[in-house]
A and B are shown apart, each in its own frame.
Chain A
Amino acid sequence: MSTSATVIAGCALVTAAIKAAGPVALGGRELPTWFTSVVILLSPALLAALVATQAFAEGDRLGLEADTAGVAVGGLVIWRSGSIVACVVAAAAVTAALRAL
Chain B
Amino acid sequence: MPFAVAGGILAASFGILADEAGFSDIAAVIMSAIVFAGSAQFTAISILAQGGGAGAAVAAAALMNSRFLPMSAAVGPSFSGGPIRRALKGQAVVDHSWALSSRGDGTFDQHLLLGASAIAYTTWVSGTAAGALWGDALGDPDALGLDAIFPAFFFGLLLNEIKSRRARGVAALGTAIALVLVPFTPPGIPVLVASLASLVGLTRGARAAVLERQEAEGEAR
User: Which A residues lie at the B interface, using CB under 8 A?
Assistant: 3-8, 10-12, 14-16, 18-24, 26-31, 33-57, 59-62, 66-67, 70-71, 74-75, 78-79, 84-85, 87-88, 90-97, 99-100
> With the chains together, A60 CA to B50 CA distance in Å?
10
Q: Are B183 and A62 in contact (CB under 8 A)?
A: yes
Q: Which of A16, A24, A48, A54 has the most CB of B within 10 A?
A: A48
> Which of B65-73, B119-127, B129-137 makes up part of the contact surface?
B65-73
- Are B50's CB and A91's CB within 8 A? no
Determine whether the beta carbon of B145 is less than 8 Å from that of A95.
Answer: yes
Known A22-B73, A24-B86, A75-B159; further 9 A-B contacts with Cβ < 8 A: A15-B40, A19-B91, A36-B210, A39-B66, A59-B50, A61-B182, A84-B6, A84-B153, A96-B145
Q: Are B54 and A6 in contact (CB under 8 A)?
A: yes
Query: Which 3 residue pairs of A and B lie closest in terms of their CB atoms, listed nearest first?
Result: A22-B72, A95-B145, A74-B152
The distance from the CB of B105 to the nearest CB of chain A, in whole angstroms, is 15
> A55: which B residues are within 8 A, CB to CB?
151
Q: When A6-B54, A60-B182 are in contact, do A37 and B202 touch as well, CB less than 8 Å?
A: yes
Which B residues lie within 8 Å of A84 (CB)? Answer: 6, 10, 153, 156
B187, CB-defined interface residue at 8 Å: yes
B154-167 CB mask vs A (1 if < 8 Å, else 0) is 11111101100011
**A66 near B145: Cβ-Cβ < 8 Å:** yes
* A68 to B183 CA separation, bound complex (whole angstroms): 17
A52 touches B35 (CB 8 A): no
A16 to B177 CA separation, bound complex (whole angstroms) = 30
Shortest B188–chain A CB gap in Å is 9
Given known contacts A10-B54, A21-B72, A78-B155, is B174 in contact with A48 (CB within 8 Å)?
yes
Please report whether the interface of chain B is mostly helix, strand, loop or mixed according to DSSP: helix
* Sampled A-B contacts (6; CB under 8 Å): A7-B58, A18-B66, A23-B90, A50-B154, A67-B145, A87-B155
Is B1 an interface residue when CB atoms closer than 8 A count as contact? no
B40: min CB distance to chain A, Å: 6
Asked if A42 and B183 make an inter-chain contact with CB atoms under 8 angstroms apart, the answer reads no
B154:A47 contact, CB within 8 angstroms: yes
> What chain A residues lie within 8 Å of B200 (beta carbons)?
41
Interchain CA distance A61-B181 in the complex, whole Å: 10
Interface: B118 (CB within 8 A): no
Tell me the complex Cα distance, A93–B146, Å: 8
Set of chain A residues within 8 Å of B191, measured between Cβ atoms: 46, 49-50, 53
Given contacts A31-B73, A34-B207, contact A15 B145 (CB under 8 A): no
Closest partner residue, chain A, to B92 (CB atom): A19
- Point out the residue from A6, A42, A91 that lies within 8 Å of B63, measured CB to CB: A42
Given contacts A33-B210, A45-B195, contact A27 B77 (CB under 8 A): yes
